[in-house]
């Protein structure tokens, strides 16, 4: 589960009796519940070495100036990796800028299509390789109308099935 302040992994199983919870972050032997599955995962390189996962996570947290993972055992095993506010803000800003650039790109593509000829929403969607007129496309059309960048070809009947849009 990914939260604003942490990443959590929960497993309904329990630690093996031979491995106390306070020793889990140290390198240790492997005690898989199902050795056949563990061996298959190791041989197919889905896991690197058995018994190193939590130790590797702790090392990577340290490399990225994050606190060590917190591990607790209650109705299963829960591992939490806390995020710092700085890391969270950087991720949030990256996501916001990606969303904004995607919307701007779609706006530019719509305007570019309408420079050639008036088009309906379904024709725009088709040329943008969208299967249907999606909410994002509707929002951008509304925005462009509001900003007076485009206009309706039949302004007196905004909901006409023959409605098209053109550059203003």
For the domain that residue 103 is a member of, what is the CATH number? 1.10.10
27-72 pLDDT, tens digit per residue, is 777 777 788 888 888 888 877 767 777 888 888 888 888 888 888 8
Give the separation between CA 147 and CA 39, rounded to whole angstroms: 61
- pTM above threshold 0.85: no
Whether residues 13 and 77 fall in one domain = yes
Query: Counting every residue, how long is the chain?
Result: 168
Domain count, the chain: 2
Domain containing residue 29: 6-83
95-147 pLDDT, tens digit per residue, is 666 666 555 578 888 999 999 999 999 999 888 887 666 788 888 999 999 99
| Structure tokens given for 157 | 């009947």
- Alpha-helical regions (H) of the chain: 35-43, 53-63, 85-116, 121-127, 135-146
Give the separation between CA 59 and CA 23, rounded to whole angstroms: 15
Tell me, rounded to whole angstroms, the distance of Cα 3 from its chain centroid.
Answer: 12
125, part of any domain: yes
CATH number for position 28: 3.30.565.60
Last residue in a domain, options 53, 83, 113: 83
Whether residues 21 and 63 fall in one domain = yes
């Amino acid at each position: 589960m990914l939260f604003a302040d942490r990443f959590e992994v929960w497993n309904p199983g329990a630690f093996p009796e031979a491995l106390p919870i306070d020793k889990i972050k140290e390198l240790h032997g492997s005690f898989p519940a199902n050795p056949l599955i563990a061996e298959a995962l190791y041989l197919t390189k889905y896991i690197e070495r058995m018994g190193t996962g939590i130790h590797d996570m702790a090392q990577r947290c340290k490399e990225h100036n994050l606190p060590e993972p917190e591990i607790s055992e209650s109705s299963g095993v829960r591992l939490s990796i806390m995020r710092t506010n700085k890391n969270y803000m950087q991720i949030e800003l990256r996501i916001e800028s990606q969303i904004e650039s995607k919307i701007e790109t779609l706006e530019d593509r719509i305007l570019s299509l309408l420079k050639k000829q008036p088009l309906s929403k379904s024709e725009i969607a088709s040329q943008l390789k969208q299967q249907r007129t999606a909410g994002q496309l509707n929002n951008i059309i509304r925005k462009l109308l509001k900003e007076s960048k485009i206009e309706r070809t039949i302004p007196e009947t905004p909901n006409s099935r023959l409605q098209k849009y053109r550059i203003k």
